[in-house]
Amino acid sequence: MKCVLLRVGKGRCAWADTATKDFTRRFQRTLPWEEIRLKPEPERGDIDRVKVAEGERVLARVQRGDLLVVLDERGESLTTDDFEVLFAGALRDGRSRVVFAIGGPHGHGEAVRQQAARVIALSPMVLNHELARVILVEQIYRVSTMMWGGGYHHV
């Protein structure tokens, strides 16, 4: 199974790139990783149009058999144990990929939220997209040590 992060944004955030690279390096042997940055839609006053266009870009990258997990502050809160269950279920169900989606500055359009198998919140607060990215990969690393061994996660 492979983990994929689809993120809408400009990127180029050195501290987040460094942290993401550090955590993904730790789990890539057991859980292959791919990060795809999608270009944000130019904003010209119509936020709904922006969310639709960005959502189309996200959904175009989702393949049959993927488990799409959307990150949104209005989503359900998961514990780390719940997050591990999500991964274990994806493996059990034979999913080829778990795809996480971080939307643009205005969030996800309704079509993306409806296509998602799960909509989860990393926090009830709105997080900077780069911070959300780092929190996500840290939790994926933590789950990988729970599933395949390692001393990082302590109960």
> How many angstroms separate the first and last alpha carbons of the chain?
25
Interval 15-46: pLDDT, tens: 999 999 999 999 999 999 999 999 999 988 89
Nearest to 136 by CA among 31, 29, 65, 12: 31
What pTM did the predictor assign? 0.94
Interval 118-142: pLDDT, tens: 999 999 998 999 999 999 999 999 9
The CATH class for the domain spanning 2-148 reads alpha beta
